[in-house]
Structure 1
Amino acid sequence: MMWLVENWVILVVGIAGVAIGVSVVYDFSKLPTQKQVKTVKEWLLYACIQAEKELGGGTGQLKLRYVWDLFIARFPYLTKVVSFELFSRWVDMALVEMRMLLTQNKAIQEVVKGEAV
């Protein structure tokens, strides 16, 4: 018993270290898998098309915020592990694909523009 009284600091630091270690391992296990990332990136293409349809051209930051809000609603668990900067890069990749689809696919142009092109 006397040992506990004399070394309580070591015991508290040890317990805190174990708790931090468990927390780090748990957080790492929650990171998105490659399949989850692929699903999110495919969904982002849809969300970017929706944002383009709703908000039109020349509203880049507003569309980014619109897609972020859709992302939070659709994937609330991923918002804890995906930074806004990473999300923004994913959106940029989806926008490149969307622009390519808009130039090549008349049906998508009609969905976005709302009229026959």
Structure 2
Amino acid sequence: MDFIVNNWYIIVAILAALAVAGAVAYRYFKLPSTEQLAKVREWLLYAVTEAERELGGGTGKLKLRQVYDLFVTRFPWLAKIVSFELFSGLVDDALDEMREMLKSNTAVKALVEGKPAE
């Protein structure tokens, strides 16, 4: 009982964090599957852009591995469902979208290349 009295604020903080995590998970799973997939695709675009910025060109397999590792960390439940081949196809789609963004958006190109935006 002394533990609870002495550490009540920690217990309340943990309960609040669990409540917030539960609410976020509930909102995500409540979305239709097409919206869930759209969220994953948006995240993949971010992940491949970061991998491109960190590793540069000519490192395709390393970038794929890095993005997959991030995916498994971010979406562990989805990684059990999605095959690596399907994931690789989704990454290819995200890479195509990133390349289009690099052509049309100088700010994104500057971010990836590590240069100041013009």
User: Fold conserved (TM > 0.5)?
Assistant: yes
Structure 1: which 5+ residue stretches go unaligned? 1-31
Aligned match of 2:40: 40
Structure 2: which 5+ residue stretches go unaligned? 1-31
Aligned match of 1:104: 104
State the one-letter code of the partner of 2:96.
V
Query: How much has 1:36 moved relative to structure 2?
Result: 1.3
TM-score, reference length from structure 1: 0.70
Aligned match of 2:57: 57
Query: How much has 1:34 moved relative to structure 2?
Result: 1.6
Alignment deviations for residues 60-99 of structure 1 (CA, whole Å, 9 cap, x no partner): 0000000000101110110110000000000000000000
User: 2-side partners of 1:90 and 1:108: how far apart?
Assistant: 20
User: 2-side partners of 1:34 and 1:77: how far apart?
Assistant: 17
Aligned match of 1:14: none
RMSD over aligned Cα atoms: 1.3
Give SS of 1:77's match.
helix
User: 2-side partners of 1:94 and 1:108: how far apart?
Assistant: 14
User: 2-side partners of 1:57 and 1:50: how far apart?
Assistant: 12
Give the % identical residues: 58
State the one-letter code of the partner of 1:62.
L
Greater RCO (Cα-Cα under 8 Å, separation 6 or more): 1
User: 1-side partners of 2:78 and 2:95: how far apart?
Assistant: 20
Alignment length (residue pairs): 86
Aligned match of 2:114: 114
- Regions of 4+ moved over 4 Å: none
State the one-letter code of the partner of 1:50.
E
State the one-letter code of the partner of 1:88.
S
Alignment deviations for residues 32-82 of structure 1 (CA, whole Å, 9 cap, x no partner): 922211110111000000000000000000000000001011101101100
Larger Rg: 1
